[in-house]
């Protein structure tokens, strides 16, 4: 009995460390309210708030429309280019919103490609609607991914029954398919809204002040990190709400998983088919192809300088941070989920919740929390070293890459946790019991049964963490050691200085690096769909 | 081989098992039966080591595996397990599934064992198939081969045939009994299907509300039920009221029956006598008649529900060519080899 206790304690300790930036931000209210608050309330705070709300509403609506419609089309119909589009629709994930923002600024500029070609009065993209458009284009894949798998997993029977009762295709969609997929879609939407509220680069670049950018303004403009932390906690509150919605939706998602018979796709031929193809090409075109072409056009003249050491340094830093973060997040995620599988008590369940809360924490909020948490840790270490008469180690945590990797791990830990949680839930507990009774202790069982069966969620979550870390801007911007630049930070700095063309090379590199995982994801889902569908088919839900 | 003494267990502060005691001899097949929620699956899981008991002891092959001092983890109990949802490893082929528990054997031993077991369960050429490519019955046989591979001391089967359809269930359960007997395996399984229990088990345990109310041969649980619950739960039957008329006799509306009575019953006490469908013989020549209330065609047999005087209803199994319409009166005769009676008040 004591061994699991000790392990539970260790799990809790890990969870508290992962949650420390959040706890520190929440604890900022203990220090009292500074005089800056009245000033903020009188001036900028209402504007921040209004902009954030409009941004969330607009992006939510946009991603819902694009994500659900494209998922439905891909899951249920065959049309020209179906195979290509089913993965191409994920491409915009490779492009962070702030890159899209500055590329579109260039595309729509008076001397830009589009303006020249169309000779139309194009709208000013550097506005709130512009930011909504940018965020919609990069975030709809979240809903697309969730909704598509929900639609694919829906039983053919439910749709056939609706059909036999005389429901046409629209009615089948709105009355059967959509309600069945709603939990998955809402879960995706909650993620989109969290990303939207967390966005820093796009709104900062477009000059739209939101809560997210307001935190840095308060921190660096007013020099009041405590007021910044307090403002951050307001944003956190909104995130907690969304996280709760997402959790709730996810719990209800299980209803679609038990059906074995999958519906087949119906063919749309002729001009209708091509119309669907064209419509589905639009998000890929605007969210990926056009910006990528523009970036290529900008960077072509400087390709000879691509291999200079400065650029390779940026690339190396980015890949290093992304790889380390992925390893940490996936490793810790596996640990937490497997610990819960072994002893599914409330203690461990709460520990997992606590540890994976970081996703609710926008990069700007996280940066404040990490600086506060790691800064005081470093202080303690240096004090201890001084007392022991040792040379002061300096800012070992807050002043090194550790801070960036830690921040990104905290922020993205929920991806593997939720992915693996869902994957694990799909495996009958009797697989564990069978393995144990066949002489395999927990670790061997994990290696021989869970690991191979969790390949898909592992690959998926590793990919998502990797891409997200590469694209991560606000936390890296503040937390990186002062001589260390990443592709994202450099691209953002150059773009902010209106050196759009110079920013193109690092931006293109982010895009390309982000592409590899998208391809991997596509492959992994294709290959593993056989194994995972076999797994779901073989495990009839237990009634015992 | 399996000895359980006064085992009690709670899950989330709810008592699930209390005071379970049972002994299963080497090579015997035991079966636990009871209504859902009676704790039979939990008992199996406790024996396998997946849930720790609150008190009591479990010995497997004479070795203590669970008592107040220690809990041997499941992987060290040498207990094979077969599950309701089959739970084959979907990422491994049939041969790898079977070899899962003997990965520490040498390659040749392992291959030999796998091919022996595949032959034993009648799937000699299926080694390279994946579970998803097999039928339900085949999967269940692979699951049994997998559980048998490490030569466990005890095999536990949790409603192993409930995922199969009715005809297949009978076939597979007979095959499994044959395999277990051939290999001399001691096994304990859980079911809610009486036919399955009767055809497979040497010893039958009837459970209700976390208690083992009778642990006996199937024959005795049917003919000598320990209490009214067992009498009701095992087999068909109904009770007719009577009055104890002597030390060994009960007077009922169907006449006086002789036999041993439960302790404590005094002449004059009211008692209920158990009537099984096969106790009532349909006999057209019998002067005693009863009204047909309902009938169910069972192929070789017709199961009648008859109404006696006072509205008492009893079942009657008759050859199916004796077709009588509902509401007609048919002649019956009683053939009670022994009497099963319980006090009407209390118990």
Q: What confidence tens digit (pLDDT) does each residue in B131-161 have?
A: 888 888 888 889 989 998 988 889 999 888 8
CA distance B244 to B256: 9
- pLDDT above 70 coverage of chain B, percent: 99
Instruction: Look at A63-77, A128-142, A506-520, B2-16 and tell me which has the smallest mean pLDDT.
Output: A506-520
Q: Output phi, psi for B292, to 5 deg.
A: -80, 120
Mean per-residue pLDDT of chain A: 83
The single-letter DSSP state of residue A195 is: H
Q: Are residues B38 and B78 in the same domain?
A: yes
CATH number, residue B282:
2.40.50.140
ipTM over 0.95: no
Contact A534 B90 (CB under 8 A): yes
CA nearest to B218, candidates B202, B237, B235: B202
Quick one: closest CA in A to B41, which residue?
Answer: A544
CB A513 within 8 A of CB A470: yes
Q: Give me the helices (H) in B204-322, please.
A: 218-223, 228-233
* Domain A23-261+269-299 -> CATH class: mainly alpha
Does B264 lie in the same domain as B221?
no
| Position A539 pLDDT exceeds 50 | no
Same-domain status, B58 and B183:
yes
Q: Chain A: nearest CA to B131, how far in angstroms?
A: 7
Whether residue B247 sits in one domain with residue B226: no
A146-150, A175-179, A537-541, B269-273: lowest mean pLDDT where? A537-541
A407, two tokens: 């921040």
Of the candidates A439, A531, A539, the beta carbon closest to that of B150 is on A439
Q: Which of A430, A439, A534 sits opposite B85 (nearest CB)?
A: A430
Report helix, strand and coil shares of chain B as percent, to nearest 5. Answer: 25, 35, 40
Answer yes or no: is pLDDT of A529 > 70: no
DSSP character at residue A172: I
Task: State the DSSP string of B93-124.
Answer: -HHHHHHGGGTTS-HHHHHHHHHHHHHHTT-T
Instruction: In whole angstroms, give the CA distance from residue A81 to residue A285.
Output: 14
DSSP A265: P
Q: Rounded to an integer, what distance in angstroms lies between the CA atom of residue B233 and that of residue B214?
A: 11
Q: Which of A307, A358, A352, A351 is CA-nearest to residue A468?
A: A358
Rounded to an integer, the average pLDDT of A188-204 is 88
Asked whether residue A259 carries a pLDDT value surpassing 60, the answer given is no
Asked whether B70 and B25 are in contact (CB, 8 A), the reply is: no
Q: What is the pLDDT of residue A334?
A: 92
The overall average pLDDT reported for chain B is 85
User: Which three-class secondary structure state does DSSP give residue A375?
Assistant: helix
User: Of B204, B230, B256, which residue is a domain's last?
Assistant: B230
Give how far B193 is from chain A: nearest CA, Å.
14
CA distance B88 to chain A (A): 7
Q: Each residue of A200-216: pLDDT tens digit?
A: 989 999 989 998 888 88
Contact B330, B289 (CB under 8 A): yes
Q: What is the pLDDT of residues A4-19, one digit of tens each?
A: 678 888 889 999 999 8
Measured from the Cβ of residue B281, the count of other Cβ atoms closer than 10 Å reads 14
Q: Encode pLDDT of B54-75 as tens digits.
A: 888 899 988 888 888 888 888 8
Distance separating alpha carbons of residues A294 and A270, to the nearest angstrom: 33
The CATH number covering residue B187 comes to 3.40.50.300
* pLDDT above 60 (res A456): yes
Test A438 with B100 for CB contact under 8 angstroms.
yes
Query: What pLDDT does residue A406 have?
Result: 94
Please indicate whether, in this complex, the C-beta atoms of B87 and A438 are within 8 angstroms of each other: no
Q: How confident is residue A533, by pLDDT bands cut at 50, 70 and 90?
A: very low
Say if residue B336 is in the same domain as residue B221: no
Q: Which of B179, B208, B230 lies at the terminal end of a domain, its last residue? A: B230
Give the minimum alpha-carbon distance from B89 to chain A in angstroms, rounded to a whole number.
7
Over residues A281-306, mean pLDDT:
86
Q: Which of B82, B91, B136 to mutate to test the interface with A (most CBs of A within 10 A)?
A: B91
Same domain, B79 and B155: yes
Q: Which of B176, B199, B230 is the last residue of a domain?
A: B230
User: Would the pLDDT of A389 be above 90?
Assistant: no
Please write the tens of the pLDDT for every residue from B311-320.
Answer: 788 888 888 7
SS3 state at A219: helix
Look at residue B287 in the predicted model and tell me its pLDDT. Answer: 80
A406-442 pLDDT, tens digit per residue, is 999 998 998 889 888 888 888 888 899 999 989 888 8
Q: At residue B91, does pLDDT exceed 60?
A: yes
Average pLDDT over residues A461-486: 86
My answer on whether B226 and B259 are in the same domain is no
Mean pLDDT of A495-501: 83
The whole domain housing B204 covers 2-230
Find the range with the poorest average confidence among A214-218, A529-533, B221-225. Answer: A529-533
Q: Tens of pLDDT along B246-290?
A: 777 887 777 777 777 777 777 878 888 888 887 888 888 888 888
Beta bridge partners of B281: B333
CA distance B113 to chain A (A): 15
Judgement on whether residues B140 and B273 belong to the same structural domain of the protein: no
The residue among B87, B92, B187 with the most chain A CBs within 10 A of its CB, best to mutate, is: B87
B245 and B217: one domain?
no
Say whether both B138 and B226 belong to one domain: yes
Stretch A316-339: mean pLDDT? 92
Q: Which residues of A touch B78 (CB under 8 A)?
A: 439
Residue with tokens 């509401």: B327
Q: Which two tokens stand for residue A213?
A: 């950018």
Please count the structural domains in chain B. Answer: 2
Residue A83 pLDDT grade (very low, low, confident, very high; cuts 50, 70, 90) = confident
How many contacts, defined by CB atoms under 8 Å, are there between A and B?
108
In A, minimum Cα distance to B99 occurs at A438
Q: Which residues of A touch B103 (CB under 8 A)?
A: 448
Residues of chain B with C-beta less than 8 angstroms from the C-beta of A431: 87, 89
Instruction: Supply φ then ψ for residue B140, to 5 degrees.
Output: -65, -35
Residue B59 Ramachandran class (φ > 0 left, ψ -120 to 50 alpha, else beta)? beta
pLDDT at B256: 78
pLDDT, residue A285, reads: 92
In this structure, are B220 and B101 located in the same domain? yes
- Segment A477-506 shows an average pLDDT of 86
- Would you call B150 and A438 a contact, using CB atoms and an 8 Å cutoff? yes
pLDDT of residue A77: 87
- For residue A530, the model assigns a pLDDT of 42
Here the tokens at position A67 are: 């994500």
Contact B146 A542 (CB under 8 A): no
Residue-level pLDDT at A224: 83
pLDDT given for residue B250 in this prediction: 81
pLDDT at A252: 66
Residue A61 has pLDDT above 90, yes or no: yes
Whether B149 contacts chain A with CB within 8 A:
yes
| Interface with chain A: mutation pick from B38, B74, B90, B144, highest number of A CBs within 10 Å | B90
Q: Nearest residue of A to residue B134 by CA position?
A: A538
| Interval B263-272: pLDDT, tens | 777 787 888 8
Mutation target among A4, A437, A451 for the B interface, most CBs of B within 10 A: A437
Residues B84 and B196 in one domain: yes
Q: Which residues have C-beta within 8 Å of that of residue A317, sequence separation ≥ 6?
A: A484, A485, A486, A487
Positions of CATH 1.10.3720.10 in chain A = 23-261+269-299, 308-544
Residues 283-322 of B with CB under 8 A from A: none
From chain B, the residues in CB contact with A448 under 8 A are 100, 103
Residue A29 DSSP label: G
* Higher pLDDT pick, A478 / B344: A478
Please state the rounded mean pLDDT for residues A382-387.
88
Quick one: pLDDT at residue A311? 81
Phi then psi for residue B64, to 5 deg, are -70, 125
Residues 6+ apart with CB under 8 A from A332: A14, A18, A355, A409, A413, A416
Q: Which residues of B touch A440 (CB under 8 A)?
A: 75, 100-101
Q: Select from A282, A333, A265 the least CA-distant residue to A15.
A: A333
- Compute chain B's Rg from CA coordinates: 24
Give the bridge partners for B250, in sequence order: B244, B257
The band of A119, judged by pLDDT with boundaries at 50, 70 and 90, is low
pLDDT of amino acid A223: 83
**Inter-chain contact B89–A540, Cβ cutoff 8 Å?**
no
Q: Answer whether B89 sits within 8 Å of A541, measured CB to CB.
A: no
Fold of A308-544: MetI-like fold (1.10.3720)
Chain B hits for A430, CB-CB cut-off 8 Å, are 83-85, 87
């Amino acid at each position: 009995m004591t061994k699991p206790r000790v392990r539970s304690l260790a799990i809790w300790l890990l969870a508290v460390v992962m949650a420390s930036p959040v706890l520190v931000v929440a604890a900022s209210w203990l220090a009292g309210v500074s005089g800056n608050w009245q000033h903020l309330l009188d001036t900028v705070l209402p504007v921040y708030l209004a902009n954030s709300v409009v941004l969330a509403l607009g992006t939510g609506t946009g991603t819902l429309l694009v994500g659900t419609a494209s998922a439905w089309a891909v899951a249920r119909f065959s049309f020209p280019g179906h195979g290509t589009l089913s993965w191409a629709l994920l491409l915009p994930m490779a492009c962070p919103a702030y890159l899209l923002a500055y590329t579109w600024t260039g595309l729509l500029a008076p001397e830009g490609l589009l303006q020249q070609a169309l000779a139309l009065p194009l709208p000013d993209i550097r506005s709130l609607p512009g930011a909504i458009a940018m965020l919609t284009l990069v975030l709809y894949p979240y809903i697309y991914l969730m909704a598509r798998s929900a639609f694919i997993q829906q039983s053919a029977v439910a749709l056939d029954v609706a059909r036999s009762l005389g429901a046409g295709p629209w009615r089948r969609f709105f009355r059967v398919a959509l309600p069945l997929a709603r939990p998955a879609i809402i879960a995706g939407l909650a993620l989109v809204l969290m990303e939207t509220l967390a966005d820093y680069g796009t709104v900062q670049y477009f000059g739209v002040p939101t809560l997210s950018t307001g935190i840095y303004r308060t921190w660096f403009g007013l020099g009041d990190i405590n007021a910044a932390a307090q403002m951050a906690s307001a944003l956190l509150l909104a995130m907690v709400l969304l996280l709760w919605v997402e959790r709730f939706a996810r719990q209800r998602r299980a209803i679609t998983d038990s059906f074995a018979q999958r519906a087949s796709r119906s063919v749309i031929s002729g001009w209708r088919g091509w119309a669907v193809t064209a419509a589905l090409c639009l998000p890929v075109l605007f969210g990926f192809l056009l910006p990528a072409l523009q970036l290529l056009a900008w960077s072509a003249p400087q390709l000879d300088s691509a291999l200079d050491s400065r650029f390779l340094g940026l690339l190396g830093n980015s890949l290093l941070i992304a790889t380390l973060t992925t390893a940490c997040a996936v490793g810790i995620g596996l640990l937490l989920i497997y610990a819960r599988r072994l002893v599914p008590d409330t203690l461990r369940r709460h520990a997992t919740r606590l540890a994976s809360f970081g996703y609710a924490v926008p990069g700007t909020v996280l940066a404040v929390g990490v600086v506060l948490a790691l800064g005081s840790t470093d202080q303690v270490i240096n004090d201890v070293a001084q007392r022991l008469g040792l040379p002061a180690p300096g800012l070992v945590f807050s002043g090194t890459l550790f801070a960036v990797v830690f921040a990104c791990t905290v922020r993205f830990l929920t991806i593997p946790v939720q992915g693996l949680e869902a994957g694990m839930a799909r495996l009958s507990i009797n697989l564990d019991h069978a393995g144990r009774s066949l002489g395999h202790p927990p670790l061997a069982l994990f290696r021989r049964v869970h690991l191979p069966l969790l390949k898909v969620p592992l690959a998926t979550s590793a990919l998502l963490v990797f891409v997200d870390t590469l694209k991560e801007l606000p936390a890296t911007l503040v937390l990186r050691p002062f001589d260390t630049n990443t592709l994202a930070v450099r691209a953002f700095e150059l773009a902010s200085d209106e050196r759009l063309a110079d920013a193109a090379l690092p931006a293109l590199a982010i895009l390309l690096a982000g592409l590899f995982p998208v391809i991997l994801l596509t492959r992994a889902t294709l290959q593993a769909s056989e194994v995972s569908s076999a797994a779901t088919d073989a495990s009839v839900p237990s009634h015992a | 081989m399996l000895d359980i003494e006064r085992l009690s267990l709670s899950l989330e502060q709810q008592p699930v098992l209390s005071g379970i005691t049972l002994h299963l001899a080497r090579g015997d097949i035991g079966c636990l039966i009871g209504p859902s929620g009676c704790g039979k699956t939990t008992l199996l899981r406790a024996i396998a080591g997946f849930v720790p008991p609150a008190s009591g002891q479990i010995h497997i092959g004479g070795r203590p595996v669970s008592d107040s001092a220690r809990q041997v983890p499941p992987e060290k109990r040498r207990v094979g397990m077969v599950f309701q949802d089959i739970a084959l490893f979907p990422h491994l082929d049939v041969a790898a599934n079977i070899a899962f528990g003997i990965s520490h054997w040498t390659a040749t031993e392992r291959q030999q064992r796998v091919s022996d077991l595949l032959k034993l369960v009648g799937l000699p050429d299926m080694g390279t198939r994946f579970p998803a490519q097999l039928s339900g019955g085949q999967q269940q046989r692979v699951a049994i081969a997998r559980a048998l591979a490490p030569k466990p001391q005890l095999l536990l089967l949790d409603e192993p045939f409930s995922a199969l359809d009715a005809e297949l269930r009978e076939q597979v359960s007979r095959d499994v009994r044959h395999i277990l007997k051939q290999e001399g395996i001691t096994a304990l399984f859980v079911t809610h299907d009486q036919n399955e229990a009767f055809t497979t088990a040497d010893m039958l345990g009837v459970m209700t509300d976390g208690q083992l109310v009778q642990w006996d041969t199937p024959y005795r649980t049917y003919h000598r039920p320990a209490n009214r619950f067992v009498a009701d739960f095992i087999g068909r039957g109904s009770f007719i009221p009577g009055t104890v008329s002597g030390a060994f006799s009960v007077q009922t509306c169907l006449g006086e029956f002789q036999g041993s009575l439960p302790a404590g019953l005094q002449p004059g006490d009211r008692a209920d006598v158990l009537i099984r469908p096969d106790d009532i013989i349909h006999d057209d020549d019998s002067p005693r008649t009863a009204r047909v209330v309902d009938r169910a065609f069972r192929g070789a047999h017709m199961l009648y529900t008859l109404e006696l005087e006072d509205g008492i209803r009893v079942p009657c199994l008759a050859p199916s060519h004796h077709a009588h319409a509902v509401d007609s009166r048919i002649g019956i005769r009683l053939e009670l080899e022994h009497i099963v009676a319980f006090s009407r008040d209390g118990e």
